Structure 1
């Protein structure tokens, strides 16, 4: 049974035999992945295992060398597909907030809906204000990024990704650049998005969070999805020795 069928729906994202290399270094090796609607998939593994590259390939920010990727049943790696249209359906939040420093929070959030999607200003601003309110930033719409904490900036980056109503949200180590005391507020936002039914794939080093929130966990090692399953399966009864060694180190470091 496929990952998607096990959760009751055709996959939002499907990757088949995806290979990606940078020069002579192979970063992804024959990766297969299915992400069902309204689920959270956590990508775990050591730095350099291929997690971020997998996310960038899923959004076509990196061209794959072999294999194919489908979004809602459409092969988006077909050269005839408009990549800009695909990227409008897939939101991405990176480690760095990448907010425009000369724009207010509201201007940062409404830029893409207005310029790329042609959403009228009033409609774009209304959605932005609603999202900011839901994420605890309702009073910060006129602030500039340098007046926000790191956690607030990351929440604004998440709002910006949500403002275009994405079908899929990709989160790449979104707590990596935060001070420890700010991590919780950003992870709380991801929990709320899960409760709202947002389909997400996240690369994370927050193992406790991945265990609690993920419907599917994929352990990557050397560009290969070495193990996959529910959080209970992967964290509780890993089948691969490499996975067991990785998790033992996490436990010894007090991160799980």
Structure 2
């Protein structure tokens, strides 16, 4: 079996006396979609931030294609270039056009010539259905459109791994579907994705594997039909009962 694109080993993250991640082990293989589920505060977002090296690890390792990128001797910026990340907030620069937002990292961080970066950006904007908005500014777009721009920006440098952190949580309900449809399309194209979501129905449709986090521990992991349909652990069952009561499954 090939080396995982991402391996997390014994990951521990603390904030003061509070342990947010407690010895998490996780692999994501090439072309695999792994979905993190769990209550707010379970550690999903912190795990993604640790993978992207935005948080300092208290213990454990993050390996990308077998290389320990969490080693302090490794240049974190170089490691991050292999990852694309989209957060809950769109984080678009309001004073820049859509096109400039998508090309900025390619030009400034990766040194791609402007013409080449803009050609790639226009291809991506066409793919996410926003080609006609290339010269628009973010405040002229809906929330769903802004999030699609953020996804295009994350894809601009062809990352090995795409990290998606609750990317629909800040959207109005009617805009959630258009963003999830784009993620479904990316998954169908074979992208390697690690994402956190509260959308259980979507997780069931798109995930190769679902991982349930609770109290900073990875409690259960497996195919969506098993974890969401016939979970082994009582804590997973309790969580899913609440989700069903809330109408999210």
| TM-score band, normalised by shorter chain | over 0.9
Aligned match of 1:178: 171
Matched, 1:101 2:94: yes
SS in 1 for 2:133: coil
Find the aligned partners of 1:27 and 1:191 in 2 and give their Cα distance.
Answer: 29
Aligned match of 1:138: 131
SS in 1 for 2:162: strand
Find the aligned partners of 1:144 and 1:160 in 2 and give their Cα distance.
Answer: 14
SS in 2 for 1:14: strand
Find the aligned partners of 2:164 and 2:203 in 1 and give their Cα distance.
Answer: 12
Gaps of 5+ in 2: none
1:69 Cα deviation (Å)? 1.0
Matched, 1:111 2:124: no
SS in 1 for 2:118: helix
Find the aligned partners of 1:164 and 1:124 in 2 and give their Cα distance.
Answer: 9
How many residues were matched structurally? 249
Find the aligned partners of 1:252 and 1:73 in 2 and give their Cα distance.
Answer: 41
Which residue of 181, 192, 196 corresponds with 1:188? 181
SS in 2 for 1:17: strand
Matched, 1:240 2:242: no
Find the aligned partners of 1:100 and 1:156 in 2 and give their Cα distance.
Answer: 11
SS in 1 for 2:24: strand
Matched, 1:35 2:18: no
Q: CA RMSD in A?
A: 0.6
TM-score by length of 1: 0.96
Aligned match of 1:47: 40
Q: How does 1:211-250 map to 2 (within 5 A)?
A: 211-250=204-243
Gaps of 5+ in 1: none
1:163 Cα deviation (Å)? 0.4
Aligned match of 2:8: 15
SS in 2 for 1:236: coil
Find the aligned partners of 1:78 and 1:61 in 2 and give their Cα distance.
Answer: 13
SS in 1 for 2:132: coil
Runs of 4+ in 1 over 4 A off after TM superposition: none
Find the aligned partners of 2:94 and 2:210 in 1 and give their Cα distance.
Answer: 35
Aligned match of 2:71: 78
1:110 Cα deviation (Å)? 0.6
Bigger CA drift: 76-85 or 28-37?
A: 76-85
1:107 Cα deviation (Å)? 0.5
Cα distance per residue 1:108-137 (max 9 Å; x no partner): 011110011110111000000000001100
SS in 2 for 1:61: coil
